[in-house]
Structure 1
Amino acid sequence: MRLGYSAVTAGIVDPREALELAARHGLDIEISIDVREMFPQLPSAKELREMGRAAGVGFTAHLPFVDLNLASVVEAAWRTSLERMQRALEFSAEAGAQVGVLHTGQVPLRHPVLLEAARERLAKALELLGPPPLPVAVENLALDRHDLLETPAELVELVEGAGEGFGYTLDLPHAFVQGGEAQIRAYLEAMQASSAPILHLHLHDNAGDHDAHLPVGAGRLPYAAFKSALAGFEGTAALEVTGGAEGVAASLEALRAAWDI
């Protein structure tokens, strides 16, 4: 497993500070494309790649989701979202990211007709985005009543239908909020049985009541219980934890104790 951390979740926006922390701990960085859209004065993809190479730090990318909805049934909103995602994939590939994490979208009005239309929109978006310029790892959400996909089976159906270049991000704490340890296992088993690979992990912690993004070990998620199930995982992972440099360091210590890595 190649381990990194989300600089933005840790509260670090300065790329040099983020790279210094990553290099100190032998980590990669998960870059936020949303932040790069908001602050175009940040380094370009080419500059970022060179900075990472100089520091010995690799990248993963969290693809945009702020004001973006690939499942939108509003034509203008859907097309804008698709165009932004295409640019984000190009940026991520140019920056040398190993994988891009993708959110699946929301449907505020839960009418059956709209839900079906949203599923069709989302599937069409992935078809048009593929084959992507870097592997795309679709993330389990189901944290908000507006989230389109609510079950492991729905996520698997989407990703398997997307074709080459698509796989999964397993966010263990998201599943823990949704249904505890049993729901983590449900997602893990469904993904492992799928024809598409688990490409990426998101690691943080919570008390099981909401998506708190606590440092690993500061909540109730039983990481040690998943040591054997993820023992052979060879993809990438990102610590999506708050608490700055201290939160990252504490998470590393707790994760290494739980998984012996």
Structure 2
Amino acid sequence: MRLGYSPFNAELGYEEAFRLAAELGLDLEVAYDLHEALPLPGPKDLRATGEALGVGFTLHLPFVELNPASLIPSVRKLSQERLLRALEFGEALGARVGVLHTGQVPLRHPLALALAREALEETLSLLASSPFPVALENLALEEADLLRGPEELKALLSRFPGLGFCLDVGHALVELGPKGPLLYWEALRERLLHLHLHDNHGRRDDHLPVGAGSVPWERLAPLLKGFSGTAALEVSGREEGVRGSVRRLQTLLTS
């Protein structure tokens, strides 16, 4: 498993983030939304710094105010345009994988749900020529989230063989309880490309350091040991949150 972390969740600027990543032998998961909103270094500059320090990258594709399943064509078009720009960003960055949320439909009417699924598939069809692998992330944290449970995500991925799966263990815990991460893993392990690792107490998406909540890490450890893809710590707590999570994972993976 190639491990990285999210500076966005850890609330670290790039200077601190690169220093910590180089020290711990981690990659960085870049949040594309921040680069739309703030005057941050461009992807080529980040890549050059990463190459100098031995730090690689994964990319969280846009999700703030983005809805790839929007029922409104103009909103969906804007979401698609942002997504395509993010793919260009990720290619310049040298991203190993990109992670995508699957959208929302606040109107829980059968017609709205059917249209939203069609809209999402229209958007996903744009990823056929992505310059790097893209993994769909399990969400289901709010009533408006379109997809629920591993079977719905599995059915969607069956129609898009070029896409993979990102297991967010914290989201799975909130949605389905302690068995949630294991249920997603079992159902979608053949499509698994990337992991989001963080913790919570099963009520909300707290992004706590590994071991600080109720995620069943001991039960996940044997699966993590055999995983050869990429992973990102999406933990709060700044530098110590990252360091503590790395220590906890190392203990789990070597015991």
TM-score interval, normalised by the smaller of the two chains: over 0.9
Specify which of 174, 177, 181 is matched with residue 178 of structure 2.
181
Show the counterpart of 1:215: 209
1:8 aligns with 2:2: no
Distance in 1 between residues matched to 2:83 and 2:25, nearest whole Å: 29
CA contact (8 A) 1:70 1:82 kept: yes
Question: Distance between the aligned counterparts of 2:90 and 2:242, measured in 1?
Answer: 23
Q: CA deviation at 1:181?
A: 2.2
Of the structure 1 ranges 115-124 and 152-161, higher mean CA displacement relative to structure 2 is found in 152-161
Q: For 1:77-104, what per-residue CA distance to the aligned partner results, in whole angstroms no more than 9, with x for missing partners?
A: 0000000001001101110110000000
User: Which protein is richer in helix relative to its size?
Assistant: 2
Q: Which runs of 5+ in 2 are unaligned?
A: none
1:61-210 matches, cutoff 5 A: 61-164=59-162, 166-192=163-189, 194=190, 197-210=191-204
Query: 1:9, CA displacement in angstroms?
Result: 0.3
Asked whether the 8 Å contact 2:102–2:120 carries over to 1, the reply is: yes
What is the distance in 1 between the residues matched to 2:88 and 2:8? 20
Q: CA separation in 2, counterparts of 1:35 and 1:60?
A: 14
RMSD: 1.1
C-alpha displacement of 1:129? 2.3
CA contact (8 A) 1:71 1:122 kept: yes
Q: Aligned to 2:247, which of 244, 248, 253?
A: 253
Is 1:238 the counterpart of 2:232 in the alignment?
Answer: yes
What one-letter code is carried by the residue in structure 1 that aligns with 2:17?
A
Q: Which residue of 2 aligns with 1:37?
A: 36
Amino acid at match of 2:26: L
Deviations 1:190-217 (A, max 9, x none): 102x5xx211000011111111000001
Contact 1:36 1:42 in 2 (8 A): yes
Structure 1, unmatched stretches of 5+, are none
Does the 8 Å contact 1:224/1:259 carry over to 2? no
Classify the secondary structure of the residue corresponding to 1:199.
Answer: strand
Letter in 2 for 1:23: A
Identity %: 51
Matched positions, count: 255
Amino acid at match of 1:188: W
Instruction: Describe the superposition over 1:45-80 as per-residue Cα deviations: whole angstroms up to 9, x where unpaired.
Output: 111110110111000000010010000010000000
- Taking structure 1 as the reference length, the TM-score comes to 0.95
Q: Is the 8 A contact 2:178 2:214 kept in 1?
A: no
The amino acid across from 1:111 in the alignment is: H
Counterpart-to-counterpart distance in 2, 1:10 and 1:216: 13
